[in-house]
Amino acid sequence: MIKLPTDFSLYQVDALELLRGLPDASVDLIVTDPAYQSLEKHRVDKNGKNRGRIPRLVTWFSIFPNERFDELFAEAYRVLKKGGHLYMFSDQETMFIAKPKGEAVGFKLWKPIVWDKKYMGMGCHYRARCEFVLFFEKGKRKLNNLGTPDVLKVPRILGGYPTEKPVALMEILISQSSNPGDVVLDPFCGSGSVGVAALKLGRRFIGGDTSEVAIKLSMGRLNDALATSVQNSDAA
């Protein structure tokens, strides 16, 4: 059984294996970004050949297939405390797959939040400038700031880790749905943006990823964030 951290812990492990190792009702908030199956359309063509600059993604993360969402949601529901929130990044295709699977295990989908990236990305028919964040709830919990809109305007990361998300965006979600000292989980941690935001806000963090590159990158960023947090606390 995985022990809860005093600050943060990282594991190079499959997301479902990480979740299975956590006790029931041990996590206050989950914020995560699975490499959903529809990403395959953007990195390979109809003949299975790599597209443009996307080939580097092939060795940096593995696609999480749609059929594994059933167990992902079941385990996420189990480890979340009553009243806990789950934020899951998604595109317009995966959203329709994830919603019924999440609701089948007991989650309520409040709404998809729109992340306005401010810059266009991939695509040719109305090029993508936004991404969705599915907002699920287990039980009842009020958001900490009811004046926050459902369109979050935060510039995307250019030239970073594949699909890297801005720390500022994660800070909004974590601030809304947790309190200092709470445990925040990201079983698909990638470059560690969720963890960095969690530590900056005085939360504890558990992260996991199958990629050695991701874990090494996250470890460096989290140690830096923790050191900065300690320095700020000492200064205060």
Q: Quick check: helix, strand or coil at residue 98?
A: helix
C-alpha dist (Å) from residue 124 to 42, 142, 174:
11, 39, 33
Structure tokens at 79: 């480890």
Structure tokens at 86: 């789950």
pTM over 0.85: yes
User: Would you list the domain boundaries of the chain?
Assistant: 8-235
Q: Quick check: helix, strand or coil at residue 65?
A: coil
pLDDT tens for each residue of the chain, 236 residues long: 888 899 999 999 999 999 999 999 999 999 999 987 665 555 554 555 554 444 444 444 578 889 999 999 999 999 999 999 999 999 888 999 999 999 999 999 999 999 999 888 766 677 889 999 999 999 999 999 999 999 999 999 887 887 899 999 999 999 999 999 999 999 999 999 999 999 999 999 999 999 999 999 999 999 999 998 777 766 66
Q: In what order do the strands lie in the sheet with 183-186?
A: 8-12, 204-209, 183-186, 27-32, 80-90, 130-137, 108-116, 151-153
- pLDDT value of position 58: 42
The beta strand positions in 62-189, using DSSP E, are: 80-90, 108-116, 130-137, 151-153, 183-186
Structure tokens at 89: 């990044």
CATH 3.40.50.150 is held by the domain 8-235 = yes
